[in-house]
Amino acid sequence: MLILSTWSFGQRANRAAWETLSPDGSSLDAVEIACRDAESDLSNHTVGKGGRPDASGQVSLDSSIMLSPAKRGAVAYVRRFEHPISIARAVMERTAHVLLAGDGAEQFALAQGFKATDLLTDEARGQWEEWRATGEMQPAHPAPIRNIEEKPPGSHDTIGVLALDSHGVLAGACSTSGMAYKLPGRVGDSPIIGHALYVDPRVGAAVATGHGELVMSVCGAFLAVEALRRGANPTDAAVEVLKRIQQTQPLTDNDQVGLIVLRPEGIWGAASLREGFKVAVKDSNRDELMAPRHVL
């Protein structure tokens, strides 16, 4: 049994999920609970309620969950629900589709019994107003993705979670409010299967965080799992994706991408473009925050 989450707040999410995962719970439930923890954390400004809005002041959430190529669900551009991860799970379990977006996703959520709520907190609104007042950044050039550890305490990043349960079942999930002050309508890598998340039960799982456009342009999580399939170890699989990003796209000093990769037998690895990425690791013997290798 093992649960791995992105960034330092992943420790809290792992702990929230552990009771369910151990001793014989399901990895699918565990990854959903971990994401729900981050989605409800109002001090976390890049996931769920309390997330930073787009350039127009509207919060929109993206999320996905996956067990296998046949069992996966996602939602994008969700503006009125606190737990997009649970709506993504409902898409997976109760529809014939992979991804629902915008109004349709919200109508589906209401029909499934999810309660609508306002996602923009006073704090996030205040920060957005400050951003708007500076006039420094145009909507087409939203706030860059920096390392969480360089940001003020209390500001966090997207949650990505991979878990392996006592039955040997792998599951993955991720949830985000996306890039702060993005152009309205922008959807990132998190709800696109194969970009921020991919799980093949026979081969392994990968989840990505950071600048979504960079990850989307190389199908990052899928590429990592394909590297595993070719025999790479999990850290090398993550590094292969980061090198592909580096080779194919111009990077700014602020661009960050982190990946966690897990094999079905519990061997895992991680890497990031730059220093600062953290992986929260919890199993029966440890509860740690680790700083993985970086390629730049």
List active site positions: 158
Binding segment (CB under 6 A) for ligand SD4, from list 20-28, 73-81, 162-170, 173-181? 173-181
Residue in 51, 53, 178, 220 binding ligand SD4, rule: CB under 6 A = 178
Secondary structure tally for the chain: helices H, strands E: 8, 13
**Residue 158, both tokens:** 């997207």
Residue in 45, 209, 281, 294 binding ligand SD4, rule: CB under 6 A = 209
Binding residues with ligand SD4: total (CB under 6 A): 15
Annotate 200-266 with DSSP letters as a single string: ETTTEEEEEEE-HHHHHTTTHHHHHHHHHHTT--HHHHHHHHHHHHHHHS---TT--EEEEEE-TTS
Query: Degrees (nearest 5) of the Cα angle 148, 153, 154?
Result: 85
Does residue 46 touch ligand SD4 according to CB under 6 A? Answer: yes
User: Least distance (Å) from ligand SD4 to the CB of residue 20?
Assistant: 24
Does residue 180 touch ligand SD4 according to CB under 6 A? Answer: no
Binding segment (CB under 6 A) for ligand SD4, from list 30-38, 124-132, 182-190, 236-244? 182-190
Does residue 5 touch ligand SD4 according to CB under 6 A? Answer: no
Strand ranges (E), 82-128: 99-101
What are the contacts of 15-19 at 24+ separation with CB within 8 A?
15/282, 15/287, 17/161, 17/163, 18/282
Beta-bridged to residue 101, according to DSSP, are 76
Residue 21 or 156: the one with the smaller Cβ distance to ligand SD4 is: 156
Residue in 189, 226, 240, 255 binding ligand SD4, rule: CB under 6 A = 189
Does residue 27 touch ligand SD4 according to CB under 6 A? Answer: no
Contacting ligand SD4 within 231-270 (CB under 6 A)? none
Residue 48 or 188: the one with the smaller Cβ distance to ligand SD4 is: 188
**Residue 242, both tokens:** 């980061």
List the strands of the sheet with 293-294, edge to edge: 197-200, 204-210, 257-262, 268-272, 293-294
Does residue 145 touch ligand SD4 according to CB under 6 A? Answer: yes
List interacting residues with ligand SD4 (CB under 6 A).
46, 145, 157-158, 176, 178-179, 188-190, 196, 209-212
